[in-house]
Copies of this chain bind each other. A is one copy, B any other.
Amino acid sequence: MLENGIEAFGLRDDAAVLQLPAGCPLVASVDSVVEGVHFDLALCGPGDVGWKALMGALSDLAAMGATPLGALVALCVPGGAGDGELALGVMAGVAEASAAAGCPVVGGDVSESTVLTVAVTVLGTIPDGGPPAVGRSGALAGDVLLVTGPCGASAAGLRELRAGREGGATGAAYRRPVARLRDGAVARVGGVHAMIDVSDGLALDLHRLADASGVGFVLDRVPVASGASEDEALAGGEDYELVLAMNDSAGTVLSEAFVDGGSRLPIRIGTVVDDPQVRLLSGEALPRLGWQHRLG
């Protein structure tokens, strides 16, 4: 049934052909998830793995303020009995996330492997002639720092699932996270200076934004998701909330745009400061808490 990856994804030619809106840039990112490293099939189903893989990749488009055009999925599946079922389960989850995010799967490849691995490339654009794609490096001293929602729900959900409980809303946050595509686009149009998604932990991703911008920050508060601890909010990955840096008055206008668009009110968490050595939460140095790849 899965004789060929392209055919498995319902695609026929060697490559997909897409037409971008005239004059609009292409925004592209790749992300991968690996069994035993990023997920455990004892704690989530194949469909969850596919969903999380696509949403995690789409979150990088959200952090640029881009609108998705399509995704290419490389699926590596363990051989042996039942593997076709596993591949189809993952692909079903990819398809659900694809529909939810309005991002069609335009390319795919299926390979045998010893470990389930899903690498997703997402393609997007900046469709509206508004401000360009937002990077991590534009934060300025005096900017306010906002986050699009409380953090830690995914980590709390993982803790619940590991304890043998379903975890309710936090379990769902872990299994079926949602990329903040609308929030990212609204933030870009609203003139945000810098943006990053909370994929590896609020603390670590804040440090990354500050590193890229050559600035420091002073945090007043950490918004903690219901059911999560402050540690989970700071160090838990896969929340996919967005952190925004922008000037104070624009932040007020932006907050109204978020609410008008049906999003939650962004939460003010602190201020950008000039000195890159200053990285404080409640007056103390904030460690680089979060998911660190164990390589190198």
Residue of B nearest to A296 (CB): B1
Q: Which of A12, A26, A70 gathers most chain B CB within 10 Å?
A: A26
- Smallest CB separation, A74 vs chain B (Å): 4
Residue A295 interfacial (CB < 8 Å)? yes
B12 touching A27 by the CB < 8 A rule?
Answer: no
Can you list, as one digit per residue, whether each of A198-214 has a CB less than 8 Å from chain B (1) or not (0)?
00000000001000100
The main secondary structure of chain A at its interface with chain B is mixed
Given A17-B25, A26-B18, A27-B16, the answer on whether A292 and B37 have CB atoms closer than 8 Å is no
Contacts of A16 in B (CB 8 A): 27-29
- Smallest CB separation, A148 vs chain B (Å): 15
How many copies of this chain are found per oligomer?
A: 2
The total of chain A residues at the interface (CB under 8 A) is: 77
A295 touching B13 by the CB < 8 A rule?
Answer: no
- Smallest CB separation, A115 vs chain B (Å): 5
A292 touching B114 by the CB < 8 A rule?
Answer: no
Given A117-B117, A133-B15, the answer on whether A30 and B112 have CB atoms closer than 8 Å is no
Segment touching B, from A60-68, A152-160, A229-237, A270-278: A60-68
- Smallest CB separation, A174 vs chain B (Å): 19
Task: Please pick, from B15, B30, B33, B60, the residue contacting A27 in the complex, using a CB distance under 8 A.
Answer: B15
In Å, the complex CA distance between A296 and B83 comes to 7
B137 touching A34 by the CB < 8 A rule?
Answer: no
Residue A2 interfacial (CB < 8 Å)? yes
Q: Which residues in A have some Cβ–Cβ distance to B below 8 Å?
A: 1-5, 8, 12-20, 22-23, 25-34, 36-38, 59-61, 63-64, 66, 70, 72-74, 76-77, 79, 83-84, 87, 106-115, 117, 119, 121-124, 132-133, 135-137, 195-197, 208, 212, 292-296
- Smallest CB separation, A9 vs chain B (Å): 10
Contacts of A212 in B (CB 8 A): 12-13
Residue of B nearest to A184 (CB): B14
A123 touching B28 by the CB < 8 A rule?
Answer: yes
Residue of B nearest to A33 (CB): B111
Task: Please pick, from B14, B26, B109, B133, the residue contacting A119 in the complex, using a CB distance under 8 A.
Answer: B109
